[in-house]
Amino acid sequence: MNDNCLANILKVICVLQNNASDDCDINNSCTRPFLGEFPINQCFNTRLVTFYRCDNSLVTLPYTIDGTTNTTTIFRVQSVGKDSVTVLLIIDNGDGTYTSTNTYATINLGCICAIRCIGDTTISNV
């Protein structure tokens, strides 16, 4: 791994997402992939993140769906390079669910000073 700690964190997120399973039959044995109890039997395939610039402003990117352009600050990590991350732009539906925009962007990690994980969820068609 390179010396960029943000890139290293994003690579871990990418690996977790790539290894996500549709098999939600999580056992209660020593081999379960998390600590603590898991009260609901739900699978997730995405760890949502936001990015902050060094001036504490959120990275906001535009997307267009059905001829209407909006912006989002929520992303799904798709791949990580040495100094950049490719993300899928995600829409917050406002009800605890999220939708893929099918729009991708590459962010220069040299312009980012912080990452915030929003939480794990399921995104269709990723």
Spatial distance between the Cα atoms of 118 and 93, rounded to a whole number of angstroms: 14
Q: Tens of pLDDT along 37-72?
A: 555 556 788 999 999 999 999 999 999 999 999 999
The secondary structure element, H or E, covering residue 9 is helix 5-18
Q: What is residue 92's three-state secondary structure?
A: strand
Residue 72: beta bridge partners? Answer: 61
Q: What is residue 6's three-state secondary structure?
A: helix
Amino acid at 28: N
Q: What is the pTM of this model?
A: 0.82
Spatial distance between the Cα atoms of 106 and 6, rounded to a whole number of angstroms: 14
